[in-house]
Amino acid sequence: MDAHIGAIDAVSSASNAVGALPASHSPTVFPPSPPPGRRPPSVATSPPPRPDRRRRHLLRPRRLQPHPARPAHCRARAEQRRLLQRAQCRVRRRGYARARGIGACVVTFTVGGLSVLNAIAGAYSENLPVICLVGGPNSNDYGTNRILHHTVGLSDFSQELRCFQTVTCHQAVVNNLEDAHEEVDRAISTALKESKPVYLSISCNLPTIPHPTFSREPVPYILSPNLSNRLGLEAAVEAAAKFLNKAVKPVLVEGPKIRVARAGKAFVELADASGYAVAVMPSAKGQFPEQHPMFIGTYWGAVSTTFCAEIVESADAYLFAGPIFNDYSSVGYSLLLKKEKAIIVQPERVTITDGPAFGCVLMKDFLRALAKKLKRNTTAFENYQRIYVPEAPAVNVLFRHIQTMLSGETAVIAETGDSWFNCQKLRLPKGCGYEFQMQYGSIGWSVGATLGYAQATKEKRVIACIGDGSFQVTCQDISTMIRSQQRSIIFLINNGGYTIEEEIHEGPYNVIKNWDYTAFVDAIHNGDGRCWTCKELLEWGARVSAANSRPPNPQ
């Protein structure tokens, strides 16, 4: 789907260098006017401007389709609302970006920017487009040798920018209005094109100053889509089809980069046409419909879904679409796969076994073209059906009940840790979302991600599985969930410490102080909500199930 953003509707400035001083150091300042919730940080509120000036300010909303790049439930300081912890803005907007395709966060210069840096790095590793908007120093302070608060105490204001250079695909410092319009549009478009976070620092005094480039409604323009090299695409499809059509029991495995390549539908088309058995890598769970007739489960080496590893590793050809083979997903690089049997399809590159590689070939184009060239072969899936034995109901009572709660109107978020493994065993109904952070693995990310995801998909009920160690890192976001009247359900697994770390390396540092979690939530909601016990939850689930299973009324 093409995305539209505000176009550059003015002539470029003669001074368009990032970090340049404004043309005038004594601009006329008018009252601020951006719409509510869209003001930059570090700008004090004041009465609204005259109507004729309302359309001339820097942070007027951009037209961004299909989804707006609005801050993921993080309010600017212009509204006189401060975040309880700036670092939490990070994971909120990551959850929002996972659900809506793009997110944004608004933070204070340096003290807020460096707090959010860890989350921006996580977004970079997970290929999530996020706009990190920073309220920078007053444009008149650049080059003056002044020392400002919220900084490290040096007159050089570039420390934050240098930190963000390694974890964002684009950085811009806007401290003059001549090229501000262009810089803002370029940052948004780069985030969308690269599917990576961008850094945008705007001097705190600029949004109150009218400028001709913001004098009218932004003109939408279409981001030019990437195109496959036609000859390279044809050669890659021919080589892959020749290899797969000779195989006796080929399989398909979907990886997490399917999302960034926007190739999910193309992969399903390939599965339908080929008849191959289909598995997913653990970090791709939820991206392929688990009701598909050829689905065999999660391929995760020694900890795969029952019988899935046997089918994948015994295949004489496997096509991996968008894989990431890190130490987590490869179970310590122990996968029993052979390079000479594998076709690796990345978002813009196809590698055929240990032979040729084809660049400038888009994954979705390749998969759709390949689907038309393959002979139908169901051998691997038939082998799976022969050895498959239905699993007994889950021994874990909690996850057995969670399974019954899942529907197309729910989404599951699994925290880093033992919830990874337990949630992998859940069978997702059609339309049920699923998110977890396997590449970056930052503990505590799921609390804020639950908040952001629920804010972005209000039609779904988010069910989060979180360990006590991770919960204690980021638990204050529960307060914002209650204030926002969200319907999320958090299952807190009280392990008395960091269970997965204890499995890796035992030590007293893995034991944490046990909290009275019910009392904690009681203190947060302060009469505005309720904390359900397991008994109440099961009673609620039974009543809802009974209500939903009522037969039609007789006509």
Residues annotated within a binding site for Mg(2+): 468, 495, 497
Whether the Cβ atoms of residue 99 and residue 453 lie closer than 8 Å to each other? yes
Q: How far apart are alpha carbons 120 and 61 in whole angstroms?
A: 22
Whether the Cβ atoms of residue 293 and residue 273 lie closer than 8 Å to each other? no
Instruction: Print the SS3 string covering 102-134.
Output: CEEEEEECCCCHHHHHHHHHHHHHCCCCEEEEE
By three-state DSSP, how is residue 279 classified?
A: strand
Which residue ranges make up the annotated binding site?
468, 495, 497
Nearest-CA neighbor of 447 among 426, 469, 461, 464? 464
Nearest-CA neighbor of 163 among 98, 102, 119? 119
Q: How far apart are alpha carbons 432 and 497 in whole angstroms?
A: 30
Q: How far apart are alpha carbons 187 and 258 in whole angstroms?
A: 24
Q: How far apart are alpha carbons 540 and 547 in whole angstroms?
A: 11
Residue corresponding to tokens 């505000």: 6
By three-state DSSP, how is residue 406 classified?
A: coil
The H or E element containing residue 74 is none
The alpha carbon of residue 305 and the mean position of all alpha carbons in its chain are separated, in whole angstroms, by: 25
- Cα first-last separation, the chain: 44
Other Cβ atoms within 10 Å of 194 Cβ, number = 16
By three-state DSSP, how is residue 200 classified?
A: strand
